Amino acid sequence: MRKSGVGADRTFQWITAGAAWLVLLLLGGVAVSMAWGGRLAFETFGWQFVTGRNWDVVAGKFGAFVPIYGTLVTSAIALIIAVPVSIGIALFLTDIAPRWSRGPIAIAIELLAAIPSIIYGMWGLFIFAPFMAAHVEPWLNAHVANKALIGPLFSGPPIGIGMLTAGIVLGIMVIPFIASVAREVFSAVPAPLKESAVALGSTRWEILSRVTLPYTRSAVIGAIFLGLGRALGETMAVTFVLGNAHDLSLSLLMPSNSIAAAIANEFTEADTELYRSSLIALGFLLFAVTFVVLTIAKLLLLRMNRQLGRTH
Amino acid sequence: MAIPARRRVADIAAFAFATAATVFGLVWLAWILWTTLVQGAAALTPSLFSQMTPPPGASGGLVNAFYGSAVMILLGVIIGTPIGVAAGTYLAEHGRYTRLAAIVSFVNDILLSAPSIVIGLFVYELVVRNAGHFSGYAGALALAMILLPIVVRTTEESLRLIPDQMREAGFALGLPRWRVTRQILYKAALSAILTGILLGVARIAGETAPLLFTALNNQSWSASLNGPLANVPVVIFQYAMSPYNEWHTLAWAGAFVLTAFVLVLNILVRLLARKGKEQ
């Protein structure tokens, strides 16, 4: 009996180890297949694939600068909105809200992450974009567009569909990811640290800015990178409100494109080998960038965990 | 000693900002849910669950899309769960403290947040291109790949929470390790693992991007997984982007059912988790 037990043990261990290898292979497989599928585009265009502005399906010329630019700009807008809001929410939930309300409010914020992105997209297209076109963008045109420096960013036709709207929707979508990590680490700050600040006469703002944030810095930055990773790769919500335009424009009110939206919109219509390869090459770029961003996020969060004395 | 006015103002401003930020977050949730409820409730009809997706201009339902989604989610769970539980078991038990486990745990967290559209492209390259046609099987495989890291993570975490005394008690009885894992640890972690699977189902139910190039869509009834298969998210996408009013209405109805399903699952998961904690 003992002998069969040992054999079964070994089998069981091999099965679980095999499954673990499969997770690793999955990530490697995605990277390799994207690189392989996109090799035709990379070979044909070289660096022009990244720097070229011309995405011409008919002529078979593919330069992906516009979707890359659109991805970066919308993600930047998303972070500009989501970072302060998420830190505010985390502060509210750890220090300000009445104790009984913290659980329900935290769950409500987390539900923002549960809503499928296609719902964000539909709401964005039918409700939010018309709202932007009717109320926000005319105001921006009238009051911000004439300012120096930032003016050109906010002048353009108020059509609702564009980089600003997409960036705001993305911002809402990443708030729960940043807020939940920030809340967790804020409440893990050792009480004696905060109490000593109180004893020295600090106000709540001073506790946040001089004790809590410095102490949790690496985790908060990690959470921001996590949010960035989400924003870069988000597909459906952006596809609905970005407008699928391949023109480069400085104005945030103009329609644009993103890597994920270009793939979603065009992949099933790609009728030549080069066209399909170009879209897969875009997928490779997206995967590589999010991989780096998420790796940084994970390393920063691990560092925080070690600081808090956790092993995992 | 009174606090100087400037510091007091900064404090009140921070207080007000944090409160406003929370209200800001909750307003979007309320707005989105309210829209989905109002538009969706108006679009709900009995034919939604009895008729096929219609051509433009005609009335119809979403029954083929519901069927396709249900089958692909089920198949995705059947493929993803055993692999996920096994990998999670390796990370927490058999491979604990090994380099492989540390790397896989790290990679798994990256897969959790990786763009789902890339998973769709991967399955296209792997399955659809070789098979020569879109299929429900490819869609289910893509969903399984998204479910997998969620199950790995929750399995690993729930096994780690079990005190080592339980394992030692099992070994003291002379049980081999695999039986300790199967008969003691899985039993103790069962509700947590189920929670993880439910969370995963809630996530893949709304996934659209990975289905666009795998299952695609199918206007008519098809029970076969070996061909393009209708599914709720892609139908919502195509109908919402179309210029036809009837299709918009159907898209809202689908959005309503999908959102209700996902929210109910999420709330169920939280109740389960709370019950597990009380035990």
Could you report the per-residue pLDDT of A262-284, keeping only the tens digit for each?
Answer: 999 999 888 899 999 999 999 99
Listed in order, strand segments (DSSP E) in A61-105 are 61-62
| pLDDT, position B127 | 93
Q: Is the Cβ–Cβ distance between B262 and B208 less than 8 Å? A: no
Locus of tokens 């353009």 = A156
Is 50 exceeded by the pLDDT of residue B153? Answer: yes
CB contacts, 8 Å: B107 with chain A: 23-24, 27
| pLDDT, position A1 | 44
Q: How confident is the model at residue B276 (pLDDT cuts 50, 70, 90)?
A: low
Q: How confident is the model at residue B101 (pLDDT cuts 50, 70, 90)?
A: very high
Residue A15 sits at the chain B interface (C-beta within 8 Å): yes
Listed residue (A250, A72, A253, A79) closest to A156, CA to CA: A253
Residues 6+ apart with CB under 8 A from A36: B125
Interval B70-99 mean pLDDT: 95
Taking the CA of residue A141 and the nearest CA in chain B, the distance in Å comes to 24
Q: Is A46 exposed, middle or buried (0-12, 13-18, 19+ CB in 10 A)?
A: exposed
Q: Which two tokens stand for residue A167?
A: 């960036």
Taking the CA of residue A29 and the nearest CA in chain B, the distance in Å comes to 8
Kindly determine whether residue A115 and residue B125, on different chains, have CB atoms separated by under 8 Å: no
Instruction: List pLDDT tens digits, range B244-266.
Output: 998 999 999 999 999 999 999 99
Cα separation of A70 and B230, whole Å?
A: 31
Where b means 16+ CB within 10 Å and e means fewer, B79-102 reads: bbbebbbbbbbbbbbbbeeeeebe
Q: Identify the closest residue of chain B to A87 by CA–CA distance.
A: B18
Mean pLDDT for each 10-residue chunk of chain A (312 residues)? 69 93 95 94 91 88 92 96 96 90 92 95 95 91 80 84 94 96 91 90 88 92 95 94 87 91 92 93 96 95 80 47
Residue B100 sits at the chain A interface (C-beta within 8 Å): yes
| pLDDT, position B8 | 86
Cα separation of A234 and A169, whole Å?
A: 11
| Eight-state DSSP code of residue A310 | -
Kindly determine whether residue A208 and residue B19, on different chains, have CB atoms separated by under 8 Å: no
**What is the reported pTM?**
0.93
Considering only the beta carbons, identify the residue of B113, B209, B241 that sits closest to A294.
B113
Q: Is the Cβ–Cβ distance between A132 and A39 less than 8 Å? A: no
Kindly determine whether residue B122 and residue A33, on different chains, have CB atoms separated by under 8 Å: yes
Residue B250 sits at the chain A interface (C-beta within 8 Å): no
CB contacts, 8 Å: B99 with chain A: none
Q: Identify the closest residue of chain A to B251 by CA–CA distance.
A: A122
CB contacts, 8 Å: B86 with chain A: 15-16, 18-20
Interval B227-237 mean pLDDT: 93
Is 60 exceeded by the pLDDT of residue B1? Answer: no
Please report the sign of the dihedral spanned by the C-alpha atoms of residue B14, residue A182, residue B258, residue A239.
positive
Share of chain A above pLDDT 70, in %: 97
Q: Is the Cβ–Cβ distance between B43 and B256 less than 8 Å? A: yes
Whole-Å CA distances, A132 to A167, A222, B77: 12, 31, 40
| pLDDT, position B278 | 65
Instruction: List pLDDT tens digits, range B131-143.
Output: 999 999 999 999 9
**ipTM rounded to 2 decimals:** 0.93
Locus of tokens 């896989």 = B104
